[in-house]
Every structure is written in structure tokens, then in C-alpha cells.
């Protein structure tokens, strides 16, 4: 699924100037970067152009020439999810040749290293999931759903054993959501555990809890395949 990125057209229906050439592209990039920093710490409905402009160090009226609020949020989501999908493909490399425990352990090491360093996907979700329940559809959030589907397909291709489609969704979706909660609300969970939210101890706790929960099902699928 692809979400169109604002800026490809010179004008929109409201005659907002999109900008052309390198200057217009640089301005859009600057606005998206500031929007990304704001949206990862504020829900979509609460974030404002003034907040984004203050974060980026430019006039809030500049944003109106390039984006509506919905378009800006969609562009931020698109950028974040494209980065995540590209990284996800590297997480799968070589796993199909490994035993279940070793493969899952390496997979989690790769995922957690990325999300601890670039937590924007989980922060965007944590800020806005409840907002969608209260205020209806959040712009661009279908991109997260598309990612889960793509991630499921990638994992099935490399995971040993046999899965039907429904079981694969349970397994992948549950793991993804636990990571979102553990990392997206790390300050709370780490405090409960008595460790620092960005610490190696907390990251290792997340990994070990996910290994405990998800390795047995993976090993059962391998055993089932061998018996066929």
C-alpha cells in the first residue's frame, strides 16, 4: 500500500503553493522532519502547526503552503514506515538457515537494536491508537496495517515450521504489539521493573520475555513439520 506524498503537484484544490525544484523539496523535507518530532510526542489531534513551526524554527504560515495537517501527518507516517519496512527486510537475512531458537534470538536482537535507536514507529502508534478510537480514523494509519501484513508475509517465508495464515497473524501481530507497548511506553514499564528505560537491562528484559512467550510456538511448528 502506498500513500501519496504531498509535493508532487504544483497546486492543490485550495491553491496552496507546493514549491518546485530543490528549494521546494528542501522546504518539504524540513517541515516533515519537524512534524515527525512533534507527532512522535503528541497525538495527531493535539499537535498544531504552531508547535511544528516552533520545533522547526520557521513560521507556521509556511506549512500551509505545502501541507494540510492530514497531509503532513500522512507524509510523516509514510516516511517512518518506509524506513521500517526497509530495515525489516535486513532483519530476516540468514534466518531461514538457523534453528528456531537461534533465529528468533537474532531476529529480536536486530529488531530491538533498531527500535531502541529509531523508536518513531512505536511512538507514533502509542500516541495515536487511542485517538483513533475517540476521534475516528487517523490519516495515514492504514500504512501501519499494511506493514503488519507485509511483516507477516516476510516472517512466514523465513520462519521454520508450518503456519496457517490465521496462526501467523496471531503470532506476528501479538509480538509486534508487545514491542509497541514495551518500547513506546518504556518509561512506565522500566520504572515498574526498576531499570532505566534506555538501558541494556531493559532491552534484554524485553528480549527474554518475548523469547519466553513466542519461542515455544515456533518450536512446536518445527516439530510438527518434521513429523509430516
Phi and psi at residue 99, to the nearest 5°: -60, 160
Does any domain span residue 4?
no
The tens digit of pLDDT for each residue in 98-136 reads 999 999 999 999 999 999 999 999 999 898 887 766 666
To which residue does cell 528542501 refer? Answer: 26
Does any domain span residue 42?
no
Q: How far apart are CA 106 and CA 115, in angstroms?
A: 14
Phi and psi at residue 145, to the nearest 5°: -60, -40
CB 61 within 8 A of CB 88: no
For residue 128, the model assigns a pLDDT of 85
Cβ atoms < 10 Å from Cβ of 88: 18
* Higher-confidence position of 1 and 94: 94
Q: Number of folded domains in the chain?
A: 1
Stretch among 15-19, 28-32, 175-179 having the lowest mean pLDDT: 15-19
Please determine, for residue 54, whether its predicted confidence score (pLDDT) is greater than 50. Answer: yes
- What is the pLDDT confidence band of residue 161, given thresholds at 50, 70 and 90? low
Does any domain span residue 69?
no
pLDDT exceeding 70 applies to what percent of the chain? 83
Tell which residue, 209, 225, 210, has the closest CA to residue 99.
Answer: 225
Phi and psi at residue 48, to the nearest 5°: -130, 160
The tens digit of pLDDT for each residue in 194-227 reads 999 999 999 999 999 999 999 998 888 776 655 5
For residue 134, the model assigns a pLDDT of 63
Q: Span 183-188, mean pLDDT?
A: 95
What is the greatest pairwise CA distance in the chain? 66
CATH number at residue 92: 1.10.357
Tell which residue, 66, 64, 27, 36, has the closest CA to residue 49.
Answer: 64
Does any domain span residue 40?
no
Q: How far apart are CA 150 and CA 82, in angstroms?
A: 12
Average pLDDT of the chain to the nearest whole number: 85
Does any domain span residue 33?
no
For residue 162, the model assigns a pLDDT of 61
Does any domain span residue 140?
yes
Phi and psi at residue 55, to the nearest 5°: -60, -40
Tell which residue, 158, 143, 149, 145, has the closest CA to residue 91.
Answer: 158
Please determine, for residue 153, whether its predicted confidence score (pLDDT) is greater than 70. Answer: yes
The answer to whether the predicted template modeling score (pTM) of the entire model surpasses 0.85 is no
Q: Span 140-169, mean pLDDT?
A: 77
The distance of Cα 5 from the centroid of its chain, to the nearest Å, equals 18
Please determine, for residue 55, whether its predicted confidence score (pLDDT) is greater than 50. Answer: yes
Q: Span 176-193, mean pLDDT?
A: 94
Grid cell of 83 as nine digits: 524506513
Q: Span 62-78, mean pLDDT?
A: 95
For residue 206, the model assigns a pLDDT of 98
Containing domain of residue 220, as a range?
76-227
Does any domain span residue 71?
no
Does any domain span residue 62?
no
For residue 1, the model assigns a pLDDT of 37
Phi and psi at residue 44, to the nearest 5°: -55, -45
Tell which residue, 182, 79, 171, 173, has the closest CA to residue 122.
Answer: 182
Helix-helix angle 165-184:120-135, to 10 degrees: 100
Amino acid at each position: 500500500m502506498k500513500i501519496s506524498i504531498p509535493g508532487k503537484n504544483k497546486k492543490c484544490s485550495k491553491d496552496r503553493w507546493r514549491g518546485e525544484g530543490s528549494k521546494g523539496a528542501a522546504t518539504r523535507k524540513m517541515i516533515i522532519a519537524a512534524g515527525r518530532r512533534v507527532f512522535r510526542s503528541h497525538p495527531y489531534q493535539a499537535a498544531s502547526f504552531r508547535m511544528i513551526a516552533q520545533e522547526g524554527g520557521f513560521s507556521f504560515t509556511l506549512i500551509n503552503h505545502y501541507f494540510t495537517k492530514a497531509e503532513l501527518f500522512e507524509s510523516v507516517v509514510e516516511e517512518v514506515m518506509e524506513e521500517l519496512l526497509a530495515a525489516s527486510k535486513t532483519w530476516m537475512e540468514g534466518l531461514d538457515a538457523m534453528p528456531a531458537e537461534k533465529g528468533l534470538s537474532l531476529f529480536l536482537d536486530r529488531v530491538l537494536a533498531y527500535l531502541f535507536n529509531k523508536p518513531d514507529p512505536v511512538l507514533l502508534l502509542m500516541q495515536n491508537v487511542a485517538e483513533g478510537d475517540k476521534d475516528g480514523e487517523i490519516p495515514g494509519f492504514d500504512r501501519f496495517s499494511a506493514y503488519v501484513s507485509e511483516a507477516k508475509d516476510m516472517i512466514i517465508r523465513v520462519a521454520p515450521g508450518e503456519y496457517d495464515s490465521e496462526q501467523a497473524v496471531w503470532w506476528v501481530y501479538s509480538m509486534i504489539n508487545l514491542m509497541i507497548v514495551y518500547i513506546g511506553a518504556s518509561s512506565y514499564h522500566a520504572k515498574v521493573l526498576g531499570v532505566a528505560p534506555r538501558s541494556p537491562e531493559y532491552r534484554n528484559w524485553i528480549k527474554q520475555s518475548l523469547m519466553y512467550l513466542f519461542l515455544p510456538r515456533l518450536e512446536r511448528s518445527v516439530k510438527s513439520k518434521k513429523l509430516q
